[in-house]
Amino acid sequence: MSAKFPTPIVQFGTSRFLQAHFDLFVDEALANNQAVGPITVVQSSGDASRANRLAALAADEGYPVHVRGLENGVIVDRQQQVKSVTRTLSTATDWPKIAAIVVNEAEYIVSNTGDAGYAPQPADTGREFDQAMSFPAKLRLLLKERFLAHGRPITILPMELVPGNGAVLRSCILALGANDDSDFLDWLEHRVIWANSLVDRIVSEPIEPAGAVCEPYALWAVEQQAGLVLPCTHPAIELVETLDDIEALKLFILNLGHTWLAGQWQHLGSNPEMSVVKFLNDPQIMAALNDLYENEVIPGFAAAGMEDRARSYLATTLDRFRNPFLDHRLVDIAQNHRQKIERRIQGFIHWAQSHGDTTKKPILAAMIHKVPAP
């Protein structure tokens, strides 16, 4: 679909998370004249089976987001139409159009392409566009087109769940362009803003062909740097000096808890219909989760001087886990389970030890070594 107006935001990724997070933020900000403008969404995977989703994202009537849960003890149950996306394209079929938009319209590039999108591909070394390229390789070509046309600055806002995601994406592109002209490399380093950010919102269900069900809680924390101006203003956006503490809270409380629950779910038979809230209705599971947090997780945050913040975040997290409206299925949480154990469980133990925590963590250690927990 063609946009009626220029789109200063180009978004790579069509996930239900983006639909209920960034796209929703921009929609609400546009209603208050607090956003730079609408969004062009680009599908970088080239998956033809998602054509209906692309069309629905940019429909004139918008797409639905259903926000359900508890907020400050009050039930929230509302649905709204998101109309911030006014054009959708695919790199597989619309590369020249995408290049023209990045050159002429874009002020911001947002991405949430997942781990698969970042994986290096043999095609990445090519000089011309190839659909088989990774996302960083495709973005490098687009940025080079912009540099050669006029070299105006641009801000890149990755939302992938990677620590230092802006710095990581910048490093990927600079590595791919190692043999590029020095003027282009200088432009990438000094005229492009690569922002590190962290996102958080449980988006539990898709609404077909486009839309999602999500919780009221949402966060987009962006690390401050010189020259950075965000594309919109929204209550869920925080501009912070460093993401370190926020990353630790999310990764080692919310994400760690999800991974522990997924492990228990697998041990108890892996019922594909089981949701987080139903699982926690079992008093033994709830008690074991509370014990894990109290005896193995909180001591790590206490050693880091963050006990009060951790307890407050934990209380919010448990409310989010017990949201009666969200069908947040453990079968989804359990995807890539071993990799998540390495990052969330083993990563927490290393982090806690680095801050001086010497307490024993038998439950977490058991998850790492694939043995039954005591």
pLDDT of residue 3: 65
Question: CA–CA separation, 197 vs 255, rounded Å?
Answer: 17
pLDDT of residue 48: 79
Q: What is the mean pLDDT of residues 146-175?
A: 95
Q: Name the DSSP letter for residue 342.
A: I
Q: What is the pTM of this model?
A: 0.87
Write out pLDDT tens, residues 322-345.
Answer: 898 888 899 999 998 999 999 999
Write out pLDDT tens, residues 265-319.
Answer: 999 999 999 999 999 999 999 999 999 999 999 999 999 999 999 999 999 899 8
Question: CA–CA separation, 83 vs 31, rounded Å?
Answer: 10
All structural domains of the chain with their residue ranges: 9-240, 244-368
Write out pLDDT tens, residues 83-97.
Answer: 999 999 999 999 999
Write out pLDDT tens, residues 93-115.
Answer: 999 999 999 999 999 999 998 77
pLDDT more than 90, % of the chain? 84
> Any idea which architecture 244-368 has in CATH?
Orthogonal Bundle (1.10)
Question: CA–CA separation, 98 vs 347, rounded Å?
Answer: 38
The string of DSSP letters for 46-91 reads --GGGHHHHHHHT-TT-EEEEEEEEETTEEEEEEEEE--EEEEEEH
Domain at 9-240, CATH homologous superfamily = NAD(P)-binding Rossmann-like Domain (3.40.50.720)
Question: CA–CA separation, 213 vs 215, rounded Å?
Answer: 7
pLDDT of residue 192: 98
**Which range is least confidently modeled, 22-26, 33-37, 110-114, 183-187?**
110-114
Element housing 225 (H / E): none
